Chain A
Amino acid sequence: MSTWTRSTSMGLLFIVLAMGRAAGADLADALDTLRAVGPEGAGNEAATVAWQQAAQVDVSRVPQLLAGLKGANPLAANWIRTAVDAVCERTLRNGGTLPKQAFEQFVLNTDQDPRARRLAYEWLLKVDPAAEGRIVPQLLDDPSVELRRDAVARLIEQGEKAVAAKQTDEAAKLLQQAFDAARDRDQIGTIVKLLKDLGREVDLVTHDGLIVDWQVIGPFDNTDEAGFNKVYPPETAFDASAEYQGKHGKVAWLKYRSEDPAGKVDLYKALEETLTRISEKLQERDVVAYAVSDFHSPSEKTVQIRSSTMNAIKTWVNGVLVDEHNVYHAGSQFDQYQADAVIRRGSNRIMVKLCQNAQTQSWTETFAFQLRVCDAIGSGIVSAE
Chain B
Amino acid sequence: MKTDTRRIWIALPLAVVALCAGADWLQFRGTDNTSCSDESALPTEFADGKNVAWKVDLPGRGPSSPIVVGDRVFVTASSGPREDRLHVLALSAADGTTIWHRQLWATGHTQINPMGSVANNTPASDGQLVFAFFSSNDLACFDLDGNLKWFRGLASDYPSTRNDVGMASSPLVVGEVVVVQCENQGESFVAGIDKRNGLTRWRIPRDRDAIWSSPTVLRGKTPKDDVVLLHGRSALTGHDPQTGKELFRYETSVHTVASVTTRGDRIYLPANGLHALQYNPADHSVQLLWYEQKLRGGNSSPVAFGHRVLRVRNPAILSCADVETGRKLWDVRLEGAVWATPLVAGEFAYVASYEGKVFVVRLGEKGELVSTNFIGKGVLASPIAAGGALYLRNDTQLLKVASH
Q: Is B160 in the interface zone, CB < 8 Å from A?
A: yes
B107 pairs with A41, CB closer than 8 A: no
Docked CA distance A187–B185 (Å): 31
Render A325-339 as a binary contact track against B, CB cut-off 8 A, 1 for contact. 111101111001000
CB contact list, A303-348 vs B, under 8 A: 325-328, 330-333, 336
CB contact list, B332-378 vs A, under 8 A: none
Docked CA distance A184–B107 (Å): 18
Q: Is B4 in the interface zone, CB < 8 Å from A?
A: no
Which of chain B's residues have a CB closer than 8 A to the CB of A181?
Answer: none
B198 pairs with A77, CB closer than 8 A: no
CB contact list, A66-123 vs B, under 8 A: 73-75, 77-79, 81-83, 85-86, 89, 115
Q: Is B76 in the interface zone, CB < 8 Å from A?
A: no
Measured CB to CB, the closest approach of chain B to A159, in angstroms, equals: 19
Residue of A nearest to B107 (CB): A74
- Given the known interface contacts A75-B107, A332-B164, the answer about A44 and B151 at a Cβ–Cβ threshold of 8 Å is yes
Which of chain B's residues have a CB closer than 8 A to the CB of A83?
Answer: 148
Render A274-293 as a binary contact track against B, CB cut-off 8 A, 1 for contact. 00000000000000000000
Q: Which of A78, A325, A326 contacts B151 (CB under 8 A)?
A: A78
CB contact list, B131-166 vs A, under 8 A: 138, 140, 146-153, 156-157, 160, 162-165
B186 pairs with A327, CB closer than 8 A: yes
Q: Is B184 in the interface zone, CB < 8 Å from A?
A: yes
Q: Which of A46-54, A200-208, A209-217 contacts B (4 or more CB under 8 A)?
A: A46-54
A331 pairs with B147, CB closer than 8 A: no
A41 pairs with B103, CB closer than 8 A: no
Query: What's the tally of chain B residues with a CB closer than 8 Å to chain A?
Result: 38
Render B63-104 as a binary contact track against A, CB cut-off 8 A, 1 for contact. 000000000000000001110000000000000000011111
Most chain B CB inside 10 Å of its own CB: which residue of A39, A83, A336 = A39
Measured CB to CB, the closest approach of chain A to B115, in angstroms, equals: 13
B164 pairs with A336, CB closer than 8 A: yes
Q: Which of A44, A48, A81 contacts B104 (CB under 8 A)?
A: A81
Q: Is A55 in the interface zone, CB < 8 Å from B?
A: yes
Residue of A nearest to B153 (CB): A75
- Given the known interface contacts A74-B156, A85-B102, A184-B81, the answer about A41 and B197 at a Cβ–Cβ threshold of 8 Å is yes
Q: Is A239 in the interface zone, CB < 8 Å from B?
A: no
B186 pairs with A325, CB closer than 8 A: yes
Which of chain A's residues have a CB closer than 8 A to the CB of B164?
Answer: 327, 330-333, 336
Query: What's the tally of chain A residues with a CB closer than 8 Å to chain B?
Result: 39
- Given the known interface contacts A40-B199, A52-B147, A330-B185, the answer about A81 and B103 at a Cβ–Cβ threshold of 8 Å is yes
Residue of A nearest to B152 (CB): A41
Q: Which of B81, B107, B147, B152 contacts A51 (CB under 8 A)?
A: B147
- Given the known interface contacts A75-B156, A327-B160, the answer about A47 and B150 at a Cβ–Cβ threshold of 8 Å is yes
Docked CA distance A185–B111 (Å): 13
B160 pairs with A326, CB closer than 8 A: yes
A336 pairs with B150, CB closer than 8 A: no
Which of chain B's residues have a CB closer than 8 A to the CB of A333?
Answer: 111, 164
- Given the known interface contacts A325-B160, A328-B185, the answer about A44 and B198 at a Cβ–Cβ threshold of 8 Å is yes
- Given the known interface contacts A39-B156, A328-B185, A330-B210, the answer about A44 and B150 at a Cβ–Cβ threshold of 8 Å is yes
A39 pairs with B157, CB closer than 8 A: yes
Which of chain A's residues have a CB closer than 8 A to the CB of B252?
Answer: none
Q: Is B200 in the interface zone, CB < 8 Å from A?
A: yes
B102 pairs with A82, CB closer than 8 A: yes
Q: Is A149 in the interface zone, CB < 8 Å from B?
A: yes
Q: Is A300 in the interface zone, CB < 8 Å from B?
A: no
Docked CA distance A328–B259 (Å): 25
Docked CA distance A331–B156 (Å): 21
- Given the known interface contacts A41-B200, A327-B186, the answer about A85 and B103 at a Cβ–Cβ threshold of 8 Å is yes
Most chain B CB inside 10 Å of its own CB: which residue of A75, A146, A184 = A75
B197 pairs with A86, CB closer than 8 A: no
Most chain B CB inside 10 Å of its own CB: which residue of A55, A77, A330 = A330
Q: Is A273 in the interface zone, CB < 8 Å from B?
A: no
Render A20-43 as a binary contact track against B, CB cut-off 8 A, 1 for contact. 000000000000000001011100
B197 pairs with A74, CB closer than 8 A: no
Which of chain B's residues have a CB closer than 8 A to the CB of A75?
Answer: 107, 151-153, 156
- Given the known interface contacts A149-B81, A325-B186, A330-B210, the answer about A41 and B101 at a Cβ–Cβ threshold of 8 Å is no
Docked CA distance A131–B283 (Å): 67
Which of chain B's residues have a CB closer than 8 A to the CB of A115?
Answer: 105
Q: Is A186 in the interface zone, CB < 8 Å from B?
A: yes
Residue of A nearest to B156 (CB): A39
Q: Is A45 in the interface zone, CB < 8 Å from B?
A: yes
A327 pairs with B147, CB closer than 8 A: no
Which of chain B's residues have a CB closer than 8 A to the CB of A328?
Answer: 185
Measured CB to CB, the closest approach of chain B to A14, in angstroms, equals: 33
B101 pairs with A85, CB closer than 8 A: yes
Which of chain A's residues have a CB closer than 8 A to the CB of B163?
Answer: 330-331
B140 pairs with A331, CB closer than 8 A: no
Docked CA distance A45–B103 (Å): 21
B152 pairs with A79, CB closer than 8 A: no
Docked CA distance A79–B148 (Å): 7
Residue of A nearest to B196 (CB): A45
Docked CA distance A74–B140 (Å): 13
CB contact list, B103-142 vs A, under 8 A: 103-105, 107, 111, 113, 138, 140
A327 pairs with B185, CB closer than 8 A: yes
Measured CB to CB, the closest approach of chain B to A376, in angstroms, equals: 14
A331 pairs with B111, CB closer than 8 A: yes
Docked CA distance A77–B147 (Å): 15
Docked CA distance A149–B82 (Å): 12
Which of chain B's residues have a CB closer than 8 A to the CB of A40?
Answer: 157, 199-200
Which of chain B's residues have a CB closer than 8 A to the CB of A186?
Answer: 81
- Given the known interface contacts A44-B150, A86-B146, the answer about A330 and B103 at a Cβ–Cβ threshold of 8 Å is no
Measured CB to CB, the closest approach of chain B to A122, in angstroms, equals: 9
Residue of B nearest to A37 (CB): B151
Which of chain B's residues have a CB closer than 8 A to the CB of A327?
Answer: 160, 162, 164, 185-186
Most chain A CB inside 10 Å of its own CB: which residue of B104, B160, B164, B200 = B164
Residue of B nearest to A333 (CB): B111
Docked CA distance A81–B147 (Å): 12
Which of chain B's residues have a CB closer than 8 A to the CB of A325?
Answer: 160, 186
Which of chain A's residues have a CB closer than 8 A to the CB of B104?
Answer: 78, 81-82
Q: List 14 A-B contacts (CB under 8 A).
A: A39-B156, A40-B200, A41-B152, A47-B151, A55-B147, A74-B105, A81-B104, A86-B102, A149-B81, A184-B82, A326-B186, A327-B186, A330-B163, A331-B165
Interface residues of B (CB under 8 A from A): 80-82, 100-105, 107, 111, 113, 138, 140, 146-153, 156-157, 160, 162-165, 184-186, 193, 197-200, 210
Beyond A47-B150, A325-B186, 9 extra complex contacts between A and B, CB < 8 Å? A41-B152, A41-B199, A44-B197, A48-B150, A55-B147, A75-B107, A78-B104, A82-B148, A330-B164
Interface residues of A (CB under 8 A from B): 37, 39-41, 44-45, 47-48, 51-52, 55, 73-75, 77-79, 81-83, 85-86, 89, 115, 146, 149, 184-187, 325-328, 330-333, 336
Among all A-B residue pairs, the 7 with the closest Cβ atoms: A331-B164, A74-B107, A44-B150, A41-B199, A327-B185, A41-B198, A184-B81
